[in-house]
Amino acid sequence: MKVYFKELTLSTNSRFEVIDITKEVEEAVRESGVKNGLCVIHAPHATVAIIANEAEPGLMKDYIDLIKELTRPDYEWRHNIIDNNAHAHLASAIIGSTRCIPVRNGRLERGTWQNIMLIELDGPRTMRRIIIEVIGEE
Ligand code: ZN
């Protein structure tokens, strides 16, 4: 069994941002040499999320609008007393910061409209990390 790790780093430019990382994830799957197994995409941060969905430009803005509506960044959350980003923690907690996708015949088994995206919830940040782990048989 092979266990392959790759770490991506990126910077974000605004408070909310959706970044498509599908190419990078698929590249990691190729590099891993794994034929059949799993690909875990994990952001080790409490204020970002990882989703697998459509990267249509309008929808990418809709994700952010919905997140704002659900987590109300201007609400008087308790956490905002010490760190003005409660909405980002809450959105990350609801959406999740890890996705796991099957790898079959050397390819990520994602749907046509399932791009892998990182959602920045408390930017801008100079460095966000994404851990990609590919596990399986070669
Ligand atoms: Zn915080």
Q: What is the mean pLDDT of each run of 10 residues along the chain (138 residues)?
A: 98 98 98 98 98 98 98 98 97 98 98 98 98 98
Q: How far is the CA of 74 from the centre of ligand 1 (A)?
A: 14
Cα three-residue angle 39-48-46, rounded to 5 degrees: 100
Q: How far is the CA of 70 from the centre of ligand 1 (A)?
A: 17
Residue 85 alpha carbon to ligand 1 centre in Å: 5
Alpha-carbon distance of 23 to 27, in angstroms, equals 6
Instruction: Output the CA 47–ligand 1 centroid distance in Å.
Output: 8
| 89 Cα: distance to centroid of ligand 1 (angstroms) | 6
Pairwise CA distance, residues 135 & 40, whole Å: 8
Q: What is the pLDDT of residue 105?
A: 98
Supply the pLDDT for residue 35. 98
Task: Indicate the pTM of the whole model.
Answer: 0.97
CA of 44 to the centre of ligand 1 (A): 14
Cα(39) to ligand 1 centroid in Å equals 29
For the stretch 38-54, what's the b/e string if a residue is b when 16 or more beta carbons lie within 10 angstroms of its beta carbon?
A: ebebbbebebbbbbbbb
CATH topology of domain 2-137: Jelly Rolls (2.60.120)
The alpha carbon of 86 and the centre of ligand 1 are apart by a number of angstroms equal to 6
3-state percent helix, strand, coil for the chain, nearest multiple of 5? 30, 35, 35
